[in-house]
Amino acid sequence: MQLLQQTLAAIRPTDPETMALAQKEIDYCLKPPGSLGKLEDIARQVAGITGKIHNVINKKAIIVMMADNGVVAEGVAMYPQDITRIGADFVTSGRMGVNFLASYAGADIIAVDIGIQVDVDLPKVLNRKIRRGTANFLKEPAMTREEAIRAVETGIEVTTTAIEQGYDLIGTGEIGIGNTTASSAVLYAFTGAPIDRVVGRGAGLTDEAFARKKEVVQEAVRLHRPDPDDPLDVLTKVGSLDIAGMTGTYLACAARKVPVVTDGLISNVAALAAIRLQPEAVQYMIPSHISFEPGAKLLKEITGLEPMLDMNMRLGEGTGCALAFSIIEASLRMIEEMGTFAVIGKTRDEIGDHIMAYRGKFPR
């Protein structure tokens, strides 16, 4: 608990002065104001995160948390739990969906066994196992509060180590059969929203299994009554180890002033848990894509994180992060490489005054 508390205490708002200076540089680029849209927003946000106007990404990583979920015993998943162990093998040998996208983006994969149900003897998998999968949360809490804290702190530790190794852009990913049910339960516990806005089909459930999934989520939350004002209680009772681990990744990045990219539904549920633990953590998050899952739209409304891509994707693993990495890097090139109004003899202050006058007459 000490590491978690220290991390929460270290998180501060992003730097508004540096963001204003970055905006001045962006406006000085030879283009109509605001014409590069979200690219401008990203460049400004990264400046606020790092405290630097000029930013270059040196090393990128997607931290993939892997864990099993006892709730699969309720028939809420299309695939058997053995797939999680196979996924650990594939993601470290370059055969998962995230691998070809990460390779294209020039990003590394950091694979973490935080709760796979069996032992994983793979040299490229970090063994940080908290327990052999969660319990079936329709019958009992998914884990103990101590285990939930350990899982969050494991995410903090793994991410902090990566940052110390020079990674300055982090993405979040997960692999775990049954984790869409856990993420739906966490989202339902936090919001109490209509169940059809929370629960989706995940990896392609039948109509019968889909109905069962919604029933399980509702009944588990009714049974355990997780406190929506206590994120650790929610993670303990109806969460998963990979969600808790990703929560720690978000908090570590915010504490160390490193931009962190959200992925799909499960990743964004972890982002919500991090925000509930420390609201200012949201300022360090860059959303990648809107998942096809219905809960993703609800999360966008709650967190205010506006995804840059809509690709009808719902794979998870950090695939959306890999796509977004290239866009983030492109946004940072704007300040470094675009020509400026200096070509016509105008200073930054002159252009700034002109833009302020324009926006005063034609507010956005």
Query: Which pLDDT value is given to residue 291?
Result: 93
CA distances from 18 to 9, 29, 299, 364 (A): 22, 17, 28, 22
- Kindly list the structural domains of the chain, giving each domain's residue range(s) and its CATH number in brackets, ordered by start: 2-54+339-361 (1.10.1610.10), 60-331 (3.40.50.10210)
pTM: 0.96
- Amino acid identity, residue 102? A
Contact 309, 351 (CB under 8 A): no
**Residues 181-214: tens digit of each pLDDT:** 999 999 999 999 999 999 998 777 889 999 999 9
Residues pairing with 261 in the sheet: 171, 286
Length of the chain: 364
Asked about 317 being catalytic, the answer comes back as: yes
User: How many of the other CB atoms lie within 10 Å of CB of 319?
Assistant: 26
- Choice among 153, 174, 293, 317 that is catalytic: 317
Instruction: Band the pLDDT of 358: cuts 50, 70, 90.
Output: low
Q: What is the mean pLDDT of the chain?
A: 95
Which SS3 state, helix, strand or coil, does residue 82 take? helix
